Structure 1
């Protein structure tokens, strides 16, 4: 009998956008793949089936904390897993990692894995003292992580800072924690396109959250355009219900002011083709997929010297690293590309080279599958 793996996600789109290549790889290895998500549409189900996997619905409140609702959902998920009887569970994103791993333990799934793709809103430094409510929430989430991750056979992190923080806090067992180094991109699908130098165009792709550095990006755009009014600034991404989410009125005001263009949530490739430089002034990441895509397409990167972000830039080689929440440094990095447009092509080529070395999805998926199946015994190795 082939191994059966249950992928537990917080929404169907993440299965298709971020796990699609891996699902194909797992199916090519002869595994049965069950895809669990709380918000399937008919189109999502058809897309999952097209990958050769099987879609299943389960109940999950993606944001917020309602202990009774979360416990009820976790118990219902355990019952579903008991019925499906997978050999392996693989949960990713905060709530699936916590409640999905606990549900898999209750359902006696033989092998349980959890992927921490970023520490999330609760553990991200907001640059100001924590409110009482956030301190209480952080302690509650830490307790739940500790409870769930102690029942995981492997805990996978995308960067060493997150692994170090979780191990130091006692949230994840060091001996069972590993670093993947990014989920990777299909380098053929994200092929390089000619660089744009006139006008110099900056692009940020992210969910519209304050933690992604959106406010700093807008402030920098305003400052740069006051000196170089022909410069374009693009912002791609949809509104989000997380506590750090920006409102539609905020973003529309920037559009009306003429600071930036906002196509909303849209296909990234055609907009990346219009961009000169990719920008992600995030406060903290796992290892951002959007930056990996930009690098694969041959775009230099401006990002922050923050966990997860710094893994994508060799400063002065394929882009620039700036301090977190430092709008002045962000402006200076942008102006550097405007004043030296020839660096866009040279640094873009270096980005593509780094993407080939670090973020080839096929090599990363092979490593991930080895961990899932327990074939790799060097569990403390770095990528």
Structure 2
């Protein structure tokens, strides 16, 4: 968009392609329901609880404070709601969030902070709604995975998320750094499970068409072939 606005190159000469993933691994139909139920029990999530999920580094710019604030407000109306955060905390990270923050905010009882997991495809299936209130991002890998696992998505209305979320079709986009808007979007899906399910199915279809690593590699290869032959 910026290149077009600045007149650097015509649209016909621009090629933009994000990353793809292994859709045979991130396939909700391949994981038995019993495995998800077992994982739910292992993590201590009640059978009746609905789960919000985030997969991101545990830093401020990923929107954790805003998510915790929105979650605290939602708990007043939905006391059985759970928040699952699959995260990691690198030594090189700046602006890290303290692990004690959920306890300080009074939401620790309903919050799970999980580090260094290798069973991500199963964790996604525990989530009723995937949330990523990031302040900035180029092409969030976790959002690609969530879409592939047919999760409805609530994310920040920023460039990187707009590429992956079709607003009102595969998920909902909200202004960044706005916990009130975030809570409203999440509640909309909590109150309308049918809409959430439809958005999740649409997200899976979007992933099949646009995020399959085999198709992505083929598109990039075709682009190079075109350049070499021109």
Q: TM-score range by the shorter chain?
A: 0.7 to 0.9
Q: What is the rounded CA distance, in whole Å, between the counterparts of 1:256 and 1:320 in structure 2?
A: 24
Residue matched to 1:207: 57
Identify which range, 191-200 or 339-348, moves more after superposition: 191-200
For normalisation by structure 1, the TM-score amounts to 0.49
Residue matched to 2:170: 318
Structure 1: 5+ residue stretches without partners: 1-159, 379-383
Deviation at residue 295 of structure 1 after TM alignment:
0.8
Structure 1 residues 251 and 365, CA gap change in structure 2 (3 angstroms): farther
Q: 3-state SS of the aligned residue for 1:343? A: helix
Find 2:28's aligned residue among 184, 192, 207.
Answer: 192
Residue matched to 1:60: none
Residue matched to 1:376: 226
Q: What is the rounded CA distance, in whole Å, between the counterparts of 1:181 and 1:311 in structure 2?
A: 10
- Residues 1-383 of structure 1 aligned to structure 2 (within 5 Å): 160=1, 164=2, 178-193=14-29, 198-240=48-90, 241-250=92-101, 253=104, 257-267=108-118, 268-371=120-223, 374-377=224-227
Q: What is the rounded CA distance, in whole Å, between the counterparts of 2:158 and 2:81 in structure 1?
A: 26
CA contact (8 A) 1:299 1:349 kept: yes
Structure 1 residues 287 and 269, CA gap change in structure 2 (3 angstroms): same
For these two proteins, the number of residue pairs brought into alignment is 209
Higher relative contact order (CA 8 A, sep 6+): 2
Deviation at residue 292 of structure 1 after TM alignment:
0.9
Structure 2: 5+ residue stretches without partners: 38-46
Structure 1 residues 252 and 239, CA gap change in structure 2 (3 angstroms): farther
Deviation at residue 346 of structure 1 after TM alignment:
1.4
Q: 3-state SS of the aligned residue for 2:135? A: coil
Q: What is the rounded CA distance, in whole Å, between the counterparts of 1:263 and 1:254 in structure 2?
A: 18
Deviation at residue 257 of structure 1 after TM alignment:
3.1
CA contact (8 A) 1:190 1:293 kept: yes
Structure 1 residues 344 and 330, CA gap change in structure 2 (3 angstroms): same
CA contact (8 A) 2:53 2:85 kept: yes
CA contact (8 A) 1:221 1:260 kept: no
Q: What is the rounded CA distance, in whole Å, between the counterparts of 1:255 and 1:179 in structure 2?
A: 47
CA contact (8 A) 1:209 1:244 kept: yes
Q: What is the rounded CA distance, in whole Å, between the counterparts of 1:255 and 1:336 in structure 2?
A: 23
Q: Once the two structures are superposed, what CA deviation does each residue of 1:204-250 show, in whole Å capped at 9, x if it has no partner?
A: 00011211111111111111111101011111111133222223444
CA contact (8 A) 2:102 2:108 kept: no
CA RMSD of aligned residues (A): 2.9
Deviation at residue 180 of structure 1 after TM alignment:
3.2
Deviation at residue 254 of structure 1 after TM alignment:
5.9
